[in-house]
């Protein structure tokens, strides 16, 4: 979100040759007062929500498999996924690739978004129709995208998304910091030891049949007024 809000790809290509164009004429946006829409609000989505709230953003979250009481405080829980696409300035995906979610980001969904809004996929490449996303970013249907997960990894050098200035792409590195690698190793070893000792593992991966899993329709709204651009 930080990079897209500052249009960094265009800035990198512009500012050395035309400093004042980069400074004054390249689009930039402020995050506070904007709306982040989360699709999926498990461990990662919930942590994103807390950070966005700290940036004085409004956060909508859609996750039909989670009761409203378990969402972070300050998040508005919505059960109508259309609201995520219609109202958000940033739509961020935090869902696994399942028979329910595979290919869920279609051209019809992208057309529901504001033409000033961005799509972020740091989850799984299979969630997004990449041809539709390319057309939507190329034609200004949405403002752009931030992509850390692709259908084909390593990336195909001919992937047309690589040609667009309003698309930021990374090689699936969301969890590839030095600290995250140390944590993953530690918790994996901890889990093996817990199982060896007959304990329930601290970090289990639930086996869920999303076709038949129970869903919830209860909602929750924040007790505070929505964040605004002029709140200080």
Catalytic residues: 124, 153, 172
**CB of 166 within 8 A of CB of 137?**
yes
**CB of 128 within 8 A of CB of 150?**
no
Distance CA 174, CA 184 (A): 13
Within the chain, residue ranges assigned H as helices are 2-5, 8-14, 19-24, 43-54, 81-87, 107-112, 130-138, 178-196
Give Cα separations from 189 to 97, 184, 203 (angstroms): 26, 9, 11
**CB of 124 within 8 A of CB of 96?**
yes
Count of Cβ atoms closer than 10 Å to residue 193 Cβ: 11
Which residues are CB-contacts of 203 (< 8 A; sequence separation ≥ 6)? 187, 190, 191
* Cα Rg of the chain, angstroms: 19
Distance CA 97, CA 219 (A): 25
Distance CA 168, CA 144 (A): 8
């Amino acid at each position: 979100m930080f990079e897209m809000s500052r249009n960094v790809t265009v800035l990198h290509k512009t500012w050395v040759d035309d400093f004042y164009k980069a400074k004054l004429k390249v689009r930039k946006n402020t995050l506070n007062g904007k709306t982040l829409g989360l699709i999926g609000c498990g461990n990662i989505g919930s942590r994103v929500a807390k950070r966005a709230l700290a940036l004085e953003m409004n956060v909508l979250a859609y996750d039909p498999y989670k009761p409203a009481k378990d969402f972070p405080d300050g998040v508005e829980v919505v059960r109508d996924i259309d609201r995520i696409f219609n109202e958000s300035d940033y739509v961020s995906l935090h869902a696994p690739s399942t028979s329910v979610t595979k290919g869920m980001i279609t051209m019809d969904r992208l057309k529901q978004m504001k033409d000033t809004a961005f799509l972020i996929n740091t989850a799984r490449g299979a969630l997004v129709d990449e041809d539709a996303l390319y057309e939507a970013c190329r034609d200004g249907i949405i403002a752009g995208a931030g992509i850390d997960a692709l259908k084909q990894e390593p990336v195909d050098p001919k992937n047309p998304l690589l040609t667009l200035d309003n698309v930021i792409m990374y090689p699936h590195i969301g969890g590839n910091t030095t600290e995250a690698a140390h944590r993953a190793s530690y918790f994996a070893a901890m889990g093996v030891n817990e199982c060896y000792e007959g304990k329930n593992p601290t970090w289990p991966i639930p086996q869920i049949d999303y076709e038949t899993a129970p869903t919830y329709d209860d909602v929750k709204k924040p007790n505070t007024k929505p964040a605004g651009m002029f709140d200080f």
